[in-house]
């Protein structure tokens, strides 16, 4: 798959991400015994960065967190190999970290709709009941219609 066009912008969000990616690429090249131009698979690179974010989320500013998830959301919304890599690499890593104590709720407001849908679907598929903050909130109009429907009582 190679390195996607959006990668430099993504790793440029934070020196934490950039340094972790550089270290992973270097490790990959050292492990292979020679420099491979393609580097590690995208899914692996995203998993490393997801783990790094989970460990060091408190060192990211709100703006960095928003930018990071906005970039990932654009990829997720496009659907395809890169969105699968984001889902399996980055988002699965965050979900796994969440089950071990990572405060995903703090970042959730920055997570986009396609990424949220994936997280909810993966949680359901693995039998993890999503907490209230992870559940979908209906748009205001839909919520108003639902509330009106709940107040309606059939007559005979």
Model pLDDT for residues 87-99, shown as the tens digit of each residue: 999 999 999 999 9
Contacts of 117 (CB under 8 A, 6+ apart): none
With bands split at pLDDT 50, 70 and 90, how would you rate the model's confidence at 129? confident
Contacts of 115 (CB under 8 A, 6+ apart): 69, 72, 73, 76, 86, 87, 91
Which residue has better confidence, 138 or 118? 118
DSSP class of 59: G
With bands split at pLDDT 50, 70 and 90, how would you rate the model's confidence at 154? very low
* Per-residue model confidence (pLDDT) at position 156: 43
* Per-residue model confidence (pLDDT) at position 152: 46
| Beta carbons of 90 and 46 less than 8 angstroms apart | yes
- Please say if the pLDDT value at position 7 is more than 50: yes
Give the predicted TM-score (pTM) of the model.
0.83
**Token pair for residue 128?**
């993890």
Task: Report how far residue 58's alpha carbon sits from residue 38's, in angstroms, rounded to the nearest whole number.
Answer: 32
Model pLDDT for residues 31-82, shown as the tens digit of each residue: 766 656 667 999 999 999 999 999 999 999 999 999 999 999 999 999 889 9
Task: Report how far residue 25's alpha carbon sits from residue 77's, in angstroms, rounded to the nearest whole number.
Answer: 27
For the chain, give every domain's residue range.
7-151
* Per-residue model confidence (pLDDT) at position 153: 47
């Amino acid at each position: 798959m190679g390195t996607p066009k959006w990668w430099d912008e993504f790793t440029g969000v934070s020196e934490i991400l950039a340094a972790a990616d550089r270290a992973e690429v270097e490790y990959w090249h050292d492990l292979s015994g020679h420099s491979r131009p393609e580097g590690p698979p995208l899914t692996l690179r995203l998993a490393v960065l997801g783990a790094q974010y989970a460990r060091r989320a408190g060192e990211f500013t709100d703006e960095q967190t928003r930018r990071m998830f906005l970039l990932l959301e654009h990829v997720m919304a496009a659907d395809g190999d890169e969105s699968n890599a984001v889902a399996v690499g980055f988002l699965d890593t965050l979900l796994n970290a969440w089950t071990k104590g990572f405060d995903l709720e703090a970042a959730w407001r920055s997570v986009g709709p396609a990424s949220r849908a994936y997280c909810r679907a993966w949680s359901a598929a693995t039998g993890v009941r999503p907490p209230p903050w992870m559940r979908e909130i209906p748009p205001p109009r839909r919520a108003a219609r639902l509330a009106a429907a709940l107040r309606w009582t059939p007559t005979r």
